[in-house]
Amino acid sequence: MNRIHNFSAGPGVLPLEVLEEARDEMLSYKDAGASVIEISHRSRQYTEIADSATQLLKGLLGLGDDWNVLFLQGGASMQFYQVPLNFLGPDNVADYVDTGAWSKKAIAEAGAVGRVHIAATSAEAGYSEIPEAEEWKITDDAVYLHYTSNNTIFGTQYHFRPPTDVALVCDASSDFLCRPTNTSGHGLIYAGAQKNLGPAGVTVVLVNNSFLETRKKELPSMLDYGTHVSKLFNTPPVFAVYLVEKVLRWLHGLGGLEAMETRNVEKAAVLYERIDRNDFYRGTATTDSRSLMNVTFRLPSEELEADFIKEAMDAGLAALKGHRSVGGIRASIYNACDPSSVAVLVSFMDEFENANG
């Protein structure tokens, strides 16, 4: 078996142990005599999996009883609409921070529901940074402030807490569980699983009770967070949740979020140090906004970038092409990306520069 060094932005690399365990359990999960995708979502076995995933998540993030963990479908993109549908009433305003493509999509969906105020934007800087906290224009009575903690396409990430007292809503799709998270002040956090947490098909939503109580009445059942808090309303994405539970156990076994942060900071530092060494490679994000998860950079020309991507692929380094909307190179180094893959990438970057610099 020849596995690539996988730098895919999502769906992204998963821990090998998790895949091996799932393979071994594929024909019969524990005593079920069937795989987990062939048994009821109300079976003892699946209930234990979902409970375990919930407890592991709460443990990793230090969440108390006032938090609910939901495993929903529809991707993070569904959350762009579901959040305002639940919380943005006709007489309210919601603050949004515009840090690039994904936050723009969230803003567009909220705009279809109600009034949106852009508290800050880094559009003028080409989304190369997180807008400085001092520049934000906060609405004091906003029903929530929505921000995107990591901008997958532009390679930027928050390294400070949004400066507001209103309830925070966070799209954490591309940096969920990459480091300890201060959840205080948050009403809701959501993350599509397919980058740091598992396969596509499940979106983890953490919603705080006091925020949940502020939601609108008479919502469609499936889109009302309250429905999913109160019961297992419909068939959840069982295979995705099963894998998420395994990834959470893996994370726990590695030492939890502090250990993961140390590992992620080290991986990113090695890569940024290589980029910064001279002018051949050029990081696209402002230094203090750089992402630990998506490392974006350019080469001296688009031709060299195309050669870099192709030669890297030939060397077993996959999915380094930047997002089609921005070009350049993007190395996504999510939790499950092994430090050894980053070391191989850095060696390749050295060789490529020696041959073309």
- Residues 197, 191 contacting (CB under 8 angstroms): yes
122 is a site residue for ligand PLP (CB under 6 A): no
201 is a site residue for ligand PLP (CB under 6 A): no
Nearer to ligand PLP, 12 or 15 (CB): 12
Closest CA to 235 of 196, 194, 202: 202
Q: Which of 6, 7, 10, 245 binds ligand PLP (CB under 6 A)?
A: 10
Per CB under 6 A, which region of 75-83, 209-217, 262-270, 340-348 contacts ligand PLP?
75-83
Euclidean distance between CA atoms 231 and 235, whole angstroms: 11
Q: Which tokens belong to 271?
A: 């890569």
102 is a site residue for ligand PLP (CB under 6 A): yes
Shortest Cβ distance from residue 354 to ligand PLP (Å)? 34
Q: Which residues ranging from 159 to 188 are in contact with ligand PLP (CB under 6 A)?
A: 171, 173-174
Per CB under 6 A, which region of 43-51, 69-77, 255-263, 313-321 contacts ligand PLP?
69-77
Shortest Cβ distance from residue 271 to ligand PLP (Å)? 19
* Total residues found in the chain within this entry: 357
- Residues 138, 95 contacting (CB under 8 angstroms): yes
Q: How many CA atoms lie within 13 A of 171 on its CB side?
A: 29
Shortest Cβ distance from residue 35 to ligand PLP (Å)? 24
Pairing verdict, β 93-98 and 115-121:
parallel
76 is a site residue for ligand PLP (CB under 6 A): yes
Shortest Cβ distance from residue 1 to ligand PLP (Å)? 28
Euclidean distance between CA atoms 354 and 308, whole angstroms: 12
152 is a site residue for ligand PLP (CB under 6 A): yes
Euclidean distance between CA atoms 216 and 344, whole angstroms: 51
Give how far the C-alpha of residue 308 lies from the chain's centroid of Cα atoms, to the nearest Å: 26
Closest CA to 106 of 46, 188, 26, 161: 188
Q: Which of 68, 86, 128, 148 binds ligand PLP (CB under 6 A)?
A: 148
DSSP single-letter state for residue 216: P
Residue whose CB is nearest to ligand PLP in the complex, by number:
75
Query: Would you name the residues annotated as active-site residues?
Result: 102, 171, 195
* Contacts to ligand PLP by CB under 6 A: 10, 75-77, 102, 148, 152, 171, 173-174, 192
